[in-house]
Amino acid sequence: MQIGFVGLGKMGGNMVTRIRRDSDHAVVAFDFNASAVTAAEASGASGAHTLEELVKQLDAPRQVWIMVPAGEATQSTVDALAKLLEPGDMIIDGGNSRWTDDKARAAALAPAGIHYVDVGTSGGVWGLDNGYCMMVGGPEEAVNRLAPILDVLAPETAGDSVTAIGERGWYHFGGPGAGHYVKMVHNAVEYGLMQAYAEGFELFHAAEYELDNAKIAHLWNQASVVRSWLCELAARAFEQDGNDLATLEGWVEDSGEGRWTLVDAIDHDVPMPALSAALFSRFYSRQDGDYAARVLAALRNQFGGHAVKQAPPA
């Protein structure tokens, strides 16, 4: 089988490498970064230096997988490919697009006979060795055609709940946008889990005992109720940077999925206090000088005469 890949960053490049390493599927790879194309060629892919060149190297019906940032970068890539592809061809978005954008793209491509499949992809930089968990949306015909690629990208083994329904490490959830919708909520759950771990390890760091967070994280992964891959990564981080994580700045970005999930939860009257607290905590981490805390201190001083600490002179 042939597939084109657009976007050869940390995940896209690894996915190309995994496909070429673990199967006989042919890959044509394109990125604006020429060195990324060279790296893909080293893994056995055929390089392309423009989208036009990529499409010309693919036999019809074509499959083109996009791994670029959500938003304008993805939309402009879809628009450009739509002008180059033919009826029966397929565009796959493996990034973190909003599910409503997927529905709009699928509707826009339908008159041209171009299939659109959305694949919410989880696994990060570890996917090259561990495989990827993929949440899929789109027309059944197109998903079935893409299945051999999904099988290679998926983990070599999967849980009973997946293998019992005949699929391994990926699942087709429904029409356009369904895959990215499930991935969006997946990321929202991830926010809450990460926040819970962060708060627990912060308390350990402040406790009266001299506790080693790396050892705690390792211990928790030995049959405890809270064992997880995130806990493994926490242990790894503490081992690398120490209990203080002194080499890191406490600035936490968010890529959008948490916001989208919270908006959708509000629209459906579904309470998500863990997500909202985790998301707002990320916002708080980016406040210069903890301004809200200064306001709280000032108010306590004003209404109750409570003591305040003066900031050191600039």
Task: List, in sequence order, every residue forming a beta bridge with 172; answer none if it has no partner.
Answer: 136
Contact 62, 78 (CB under 8 A): no
Catalytic residue among 190, 253, 257, 309: 190
Pairing of strands 90-93, 63-66: parallel
| Dist. CA 98–CA 137, nearest whole Å | 12
Catalytic residue among 183, 210, 249, 253: 183
For residue 74, give both structure tokens. Answer: 């993805």
Q: What are phi and psi of 313, to 5 degrees?
A: -60, 145
Measured over the CA atoms of residue 147, residue 170, residue 76 and residue 44, the dihedral's sign is negative
* For residue 87, cis peptide bond before it (omega within 30 degrees of 0): no
Is 215 tagged catalytic? no
Q: Tell me the sheet residues that pair with 137.
A: 118, 174
Q: Which residues contact 191 (CB under 8 A, 6 or more apart)?
A: 254, 258, 274, 275, 278, 279, 282
- Paired tokens of 80: 């450009």
C-alpha 245/C-alpha 183 separation (Å) is 29
- Active site (annotated) includes residue 190: yes
Integer Cα distance of 49 and 56 in angstroms: 11
Token pair, residue 185, equals: 């909520």
Catalytic residues: 183, 190
